[in-house]
Amino acid sequence: MQLISRAEAAEWFGKVLPALANLLLQLPTLLESHYQNADYILGKYGFKTGLRLLGSQEAGMVFLSQELIGALLACAFFCLFPATDRGANHLPTINFDELFAHELVGALLAYAFFYLFPATNRGANYLRTINFDELLASLYEGYSQKQESKLKCIVHYFKRICSCMPVGFLSFERKVLPQDRHPLFKSYPEADFWSKSVLPLCTFEVNSVGFIEEQSADALEVDFANKYIGGGALHRGCLQEEIRFMINPELIAGMLFLPSVADNEAIEVICAERFCDYKGYASSFRFAGDHADKRHFDSFGRRITRIVAIDALCSPGMKQYALKYLLRYVAGDHADKRRLDSFGRRNTRIIAIDALCWPGMKQYALKCLLQYVKFALEEVECTENSSSS
């Protein structure tokens, strides 16, 4: 089975792998620079933005440069992160050996003199592993074109950053709605909060064609996600969340420091560059070449796109009509918007949502009504994207 041509193999082993090794050697310097400057980014707002664990129920933000993310993902590719004790913090492991096969990684790294990946003690309690051997394992032990295409997306990302390192930034933020009532802060809304609201409903538009990632740049893109950010991206998953992590690989960096998402939490990313085009979905997913991301940057150097990940119910069936689950959903992205607006973001947004990709949620009318109610409260225009990706 030949996955790449001789010319592509020569480029990978002769140029890309050595460049990744050099990038790894820069990681200590990049981290030192990051910690020297990170907390100045939003210092006037009183927020820390340095790389750290954003634990459960701990609202906070991390700013990372695209270069630092590239170095972190190179470190994960070579499986250099410690693989033990991440379960205590409900984190997925960060190395890539779960995406790649052990045997093939060994061959690749031996070829490049980097046979360093840890092979034991992964997948601790409550975690999605982030290592890459599972992706290559799926090629080596059970070939499928979707897994080959996922691997091609990752390889293409590394080729791009090794030929021209991008200079932007990303922010990863954990947003939390406090469960306890407080007069000065927005809290987890109960039923009477919604039933007594007198706000008018927002403009609602349904699109039957197009993709979430192709909506206008001011869209807030909702990812109905696994509670572990990234879901099965580095395993065999290939639905909405997993595809987005393949075409925007910088999102994988969030798996390093973002534990699982609770019912009253959301993760917002602003925003990862898109590097790949694709076609198809699930088993028909295929890498379709390079993508030049033309979206503009904000004053912090981030691409003007907002991705919000909230945990979706798993195969809820009829229980999704119960009041507790209706409230669970509408609370998901209601978290902490006032503070976000203080950074100068627009109050009026277009919300791009994919109805067909909400796991277990086949009652589209119910889902649309929930979207309608929730975003009317935020005074935004709601665009429901009902395409297949």
The predicted-structure confidence for 20-52, as pLDDT tens digits, reads as follows: 999 999 999 999 999 998 877 776 777 889 999
Active site residue 241: yes
Q: Which amino acid is located at 106 in the chain?
A: G
Active site residue 103: no
Express each pLDDT in 204-232 by its tens digit: 777 777 788 887 666 778 776 788 888 88
List of the chain residues with pLDDT < 70: 1-3, 43, 98-143, 181-188, 216-218, 224, 313-316, 329-364, 374-389
Angle at CA of residue 65, ends 62 and 70, nearest 5°: 110
Residue 6, pLDDT score: 84
User: Does 226 count as an annotated binding residue?
Assistant: yes
Residue 186, pLDDT score: 64
Give the whole-angstrom CA distance, residue 143 versus residue 166.
33
User: Does 37 count as an annotated binding residue?
Assistant: no
Express each pLDDT in 106-138 by its tens digit: 444 333 333 333 445 545 544 445 456 566 556
From 133, 173, 213, 241, active-site residue: 241
Domains, the chain, in order of start with CATH, read 6-174 (no CATH), 175-230+241-252+267-275+292-385 (3.40.220)
Report how far apart, in Å, the C-alpha atoms of 365 and of each of 30, 71, 121, 383 are.
48, 44, 44, 14
Give the whole-angstrom CA distance, residue 243 versus residue 230.
9
Q: Which helix (H) or strand (E) holds 204?
A: strand 204-207
Residue 334, pLDDT score: 53
User: Does 364 count as an annotated binding residue?
Assistant: no
Residue 349, pLDDT score: 52
Helices and strands (DSSP H and E) totals, the chain = 12, 10
From 242, 268, 311, 336, active-site residue: 242
Active site residue 223: yes
Q: What is the pTM of this model?
A: 0.81
% of the chain exceeding 90 in pLDDT: 31
Give the whole-angstrom CA distance, residue 357 versus residue 277.
19
From 97, 223, 268, 384, active-site residue: 223
Are the C-beta atoms of 136 and 151 separated by less than 8 Å? Answer: yes
